[in-house]
Structure formats: structure tokens, C-alpha cells
Structure 1
């Protein structure tokens, strides 16, 4: 009996679903693009529902291609997710529906938010929390994007105060909706995605109380931080209903592992099409 692994690759401009065999060969796949929205100069947004629909389409099309070739989709034993990092989604706990378009990682609308946050720190420097979370204050990271949404969208701040707000990156949004949404969906993220929010303490791998308090957010809006390889939940419906979702990695970290950068000092560079600076990751593994 064949055994396959499925992978959702949710990127900045397109989504893919790929099925691999035990040897790592691609058995079947499907890819589709989705719209980009630019409401103002330096702004970039995605519609979270369009992202979800693009992923669902890719899964459905891949399954149909497998069937057409006489392959059994039931032989897919698990599905993992890799995703564009930092892109910020907020949704309503009661309805499971987005409260705003996703603010994409490359969006720079939060420059004034960064300035305000830095001004509130004792040192007035962007690296004030870098020793804890590994990140400086920057337009890049999810925590700053969330703070902008809370400051500028009254309906989001109201949901926050009423305990209805849920926050996550694209991985959290997809896992939540694919496992049932408001009807019991799992609210979770992995350590690689959590590490791009500014909220996670790199030593404890948990949400940091001090940083969350500084950003003035309630921790109950945040997903549970989990490892990158465990069963988070199961597909609630569709052709993969009941199949486990058991892998979650930010796309750059996923590529890092895929390129076998396991030796200390190994470096991976990613040259991004959007023209932003090179993404560079260093290996700090102490053992293989």
C-alpha cells in the first residue's frame, strides 16, 4: 500500500497543495493565485476567505487528479502546513469570520505605530525587547500590525474588549477554519510562526507576559503555541475529512529544514521576488 504526505504551501501570491511519496517525490499537486489588495501607498492586504478558498480549491483539485490516475487519496496519512510569515489575521470568536483583511508581511503602514511603541520604552531604542523575543520593533512583525489594527479599527478593539477577538498568522487561520472554525476549530500556532509576532519569549517558547502587557493585548486572543510536528486537529469536512493536520512551519524555516541546514553555522539565503531585503537564516542546532 502506498503512503503519502500532503503539504499546504500558502504563499504571498499563491497557494499550493502537494502530495509526496515516501521518497519525497511529488505525486500530484495543484496551485492557484489569489488577489492582492493595495488600499494605499505601502499597504498590502489579502482577503482571509479568499486565502482559505484558494487552499480548499488546491486540495480538491489535487485529490481529483489523484483519482483520475487511479491513486487513492485515503493513502494520505497526514497533512502539514507551511505559510507566509508575519501576515496578520483577526477574526470573531463567535462567528469565525474575519474582522478585517489580513495585513501582509510586506505592508509598511505601521511606521507611526513603531515610533509610538519605541517612544514608550525606557531606552527609546528599537531593540528594547530583542533579547526576549529576538525581534526589534519593526513594521515587519505581527505584533505591531495587530497594535495598528486595534488602534485604527474600532470594531476590532471592541471585539478585543468583549473577548470575541482571535488573532493569528496564516497558519493559525487555516488550521482554525480547516478544523471546524466557530464550530470547534483549533486555535494553535507553532514556535516558528509565534517567533515572528514579537510576543513569544524565545527561551520559554511561550507568550511573554511583559511584552503582551506592553502591547496592551489580552493573551486569550493568542493561539496556543505548539511544536512544529504534532497532531493539532483534523479536517472537519471536504475530501480530507478526518485526516490529521500534523505539521506547521513558517515558510522560511520550512525551507531551512528542507535544505538540510542542520549543522551549526549553516546559512540559508532567500531572494524574495517582491524586492524586499534577502531573508537569511542561521543554524543554531546543537545536535542533528
Structure 2
């Protein structure tokens, strides 16, 4: 058996293959972009075939550089969560474009289910609220609105799954599984249930027969077709990207908290083996599962983080690169009263306003690129502060916050988080903790490390700390402006 761990990280804007050592060192990486399709306002789609082909191409690049499949001990897969793929189990071909987690087309269905009085029971059972973000209503939409999907269901050939399920099916030549962390994001899996629930499937309108078997997040989960990579390799780790990042940040004890700032922003607090219950519209989710035993997390999900900076760059042309925002933020003493509420695809936790739309408030003739760029970065701390208040109200106050993701490399933003939250913010030197977490899961699943705690000791690197350094009055002044702009939304 080889000594390396191959991680396939199928994200929202790109897909990557990364080769790790058992000590957490990154040896190789290949990356390819994913085409974003926006057929209507509020709709976001991917080509599932493109996800597969580009992920496979990245994997082949890395395996070849490693010296062949024999150098790889195990594969770990992590993925954009809630995105739904529909495919034909017999041909293995996608039946429609994948509906991406950001997509809002099922808002009316969620409203109807909520008005019918189902949300309280759904949240109690699944830990989730009725929102278009989650996979189940996307699956129903495909069933009712796509003729090819409906025909496959009638032939008993339909497979509906999240991205890890799709990739494992293609890699293995037919294994149809979904790990518990991804399955817990569908509205169809009870937090304390081993498999997808027939009653929840009936309520949402998804055929139970089209869903995968729910499996552990780490262990012997599948094996690749030998022809794809030049040899069979076991798949030993599967997790949604935010759960993988929580593992990669070594938040393995109850109370430990991480925030990932990528396309969106996602905060998870480890809750141990206790099923999480929120009274403040946070989410309960499966963090890991091994041998059927689950660890859970309390989660707050913000839909727009790095995508706001991308919008400033690509749609408005205010910046040339995302990295420019740090210099622009430092070039002025404050935002000049400019506040951005980045509800470009609705508001996530703890507000859950699917129809909300973004605003830029406080503009004057003195407002320029620097003020808007700084306000965009400040919005990250404002949104995170809303989550911090909800977590504290649910009895899960943060003592420190471990951050990662592409935006976390911005030192100004990391310090601003510490200032606005009033807690120490820790950032690892290696910020690709989603991939590292998938590598840790696969390493334990393959027996390279005995458990996640041992993997953490061996694979996590150094961290940098940012301490709060803002007077309470300045913090409150900004929060007043934020709340006023938020109320307008």
C-alpha cells in the first residue's frame, strides 16, 4: 500500500486533487475551474458531467506525478454541500444540470411547507429549516420539472444525490452511497436516524428508491475502478466541505468552533454525541460518523462571503483582484459610513430570508472604491457577529474562533473579526483545511492513524493568533449601522 492520501475537493467554483502525506504535508495539487450557469435570476447550475470529467482529470494529473496509483493509500472526497445531481443508474450519465446550493428556485415550495405548519417538526427531526438551500426541495423540483428525470424515476433508474455521491458512483463504477455528513443536509435524514426517512421523503416529494445508502464519513467506503487511475484505490473518507474543514481545524472536542470564509461563510461548533437543538434558527448537522456512531455540530450558514468580493471584481469592476481589498481597507481609517448587506442570494442564518436582496447603504460623494471594498470586508465580521449572538443564545458561546478558507488569508479581515467578535481568532498557516480534513478522515479510515485525535496531532501545522483591539464604543457604533441597514433589507 502507498503512503499518500489523494483528496478530491469538488468545490463551487473549481475542483481540485491534492496529494497529502501522513504528516499533513501537501505534495501535489491540480485544479480546474467549474463553469457557473445562471439561467434565470436566483438560479445557479453546474454541469455534472463537467464536475466528473474535471475532477478525474485533476486526479490523474496528481496520481501520475506521485508515480502511479500504487503510491496512494486512500482517497478522501470533500464537496460543495446541498448541490444536487440527477443521473441514470444504468448508464451513469447525468440527466440534467446540477442544481447548486446557492439556487433559490424552490423558495415558494419552502414557503408552502412552512405555511402548512411543517417547519417545526422538520427542524426537530433533521436539524434544518425549510429553505431552498437544502437538497430535498431541489430533488423534488427536478422530479416535477424535468422530463428526463421523471422518466428515469418511472423506469426505476433514477439516482438523486449530492456531489460526493455522484463522484463515488463514477469512480467505483456503480457504488451508490452518501456519507452521513452530506446526507444530513438534505431535509431527508433524521439526525438520529441511520438512513433516509420514508416519511420525510413523502413530505418533501422525493422517491426514497432514488436515494443512496447512508454510510460513515470514514472507513472502507468504496473502491475505484482500476482502469481510471491505473489501479484500484480505496475510498476511505467522505465529508461535506464544512464538516471536513471542522475536522481539518481539529475542532474535535465539544465547544470548539471554526469558520470557513469561501464562497459563503460557515461556522460550526462541535457538539459531541449530543443531538443539537437550536432555539435561534441555527442548524443541527452530522459532523462525522464512524461505526454508525455520530458526532454532531451546531452550524450557522452565511450565503455570501468571498462571492461578494468576486462580484465587486467581476460585475462592478471595482477591483482587479481579490487581494486588492486588503490594501484598500488599510488605506482609509473607516468605511465613511458605507455599510453593505450582502444578501445577493438571500440571507442565511440566523435570519433565513430567502427573498432578501443586497444593499449598499450610506453612500455619499465621498464614497469611493476604498470605502466600498472596506465595507465588503466589514460585512464578513457583521454577519459573523449575528451568528455569534445566536450561538451564545443557544448555549454555545465561542471562546476562540478558528478561521480558514480563501478569504481568511486577508490579515485585515482576520483582525477585524477579532475586533468585532471580542475573541481570539486563530488561523493556521495552511488554510486549506477542508482538504486537510478530508485527508485526515481518509487516513483514519485507511488505518494510517488510529483516530481523528491522533491524525490531528500528526497532520495539523502552526497557527497565527489575532487578538481583539477595538474599543467597545467603536464596535457598537458599527453594529448600530449594520442593524439599521439589515432592517432595511
Please, what TM-score do these two structures have when normalized by structure 2?
A: 0.54
Preserved CA contact (<8 Å) 1:6 1:76: yes
Structure 2: gaps of 5 or more residues: 274-294, 296-452, 454-489
Q: Distance in 2 between matches of 1:205 and 1:117?
A: 24
Query: Cα offset for 1:118?
Result: 2.5
Preserved CA contact (<8 Å) 1:15 1:51: yes
Q: Distance in 1 between matches of 2:207 and 2:42?
A: 28
Give secondary structure in 2 for the equivalent of 1:127: helix
Query: Cα offset for 1:15?
Result: 0.9
Q: Quick one: which of 98, 114, 118 aligns to 1:118?
A: 114
Query: Cα offset for 1:229?
Result: 0.8
Query: Cα offset for 1:219?
Result: 1.2
Deviates more, 1:79-88 or 1:34-43: 34-43
Preserved CA contact (<8 Å) 1:113 1:147: no
Map 1:1-288 to 2 at 5 A.
Answer: 3-67=3-67, 73-119=69-115, 121=116, 123=117, 126-180=119-173, 185-236=174-225, 237-273=227-263, 276=264, 278-286=265-273
Give secondary structure in 2 for the equivalent of 1:207: coil
Which of these two proteins has the greater Rg computed from alpha carbons?
A: 2
State the Cα deviation string for residues 234-273 of structure 1 (Å, max 9, x = none).
1112224311111100000000001010121112112233
Query: Cα offset for 1:96?
Result: 1.3
Give secondary structure in 1 for the equivalent of 2:219: coil
Query: Cα offset for 1:169?
Result: 0.2
Give secondary structure in 2 for the equivalent of 1:118: helix
Give secondary structure in 2 for the equivalent of 1:128: helix
Which structure has more helix as a fraction of its residues? 2
Preserved CA contact (<8 Å) 1:127 1:135: no
Query: Cα offset for 1:2?
Result: 6.3
Q: Distance in 1 between matches of 2:222 and 2:260?
A: 31
Preserved CA contact (<8 Å) 1:186 1:232: no
Query: Cα offset for 1:60?
Result: 1.3
Number of equivalences: 274
Q: Distance in 1 between matches of 2:148 and 2:64?
A: 41
Query: Cα offset for 1:73?
Result: 4.2
Preserved CA contact (<8 Å) 1:83 1:171: yes
Query: Cα offset for 1:179?
Result: 0.6
Query: Cα offset for 1:156?
Result: 1.6
Give secondary structure in 2 for the equivalent of 1:27: strand
What's the C-alpha RMSD, in Å, of the aligned pairs? Answer: 1.8
Please, what TM-score do these two structures have when normalized by structure 1?
A: 0.90
State the Cα deviation string for residues 123-182 of structure 1 (Å, max 9, x = none).
2x53331110111110100001111111212332232233121110000000001111xx
Q: Distance in 2 between matches of 1:255 and 1:199?
A: 23
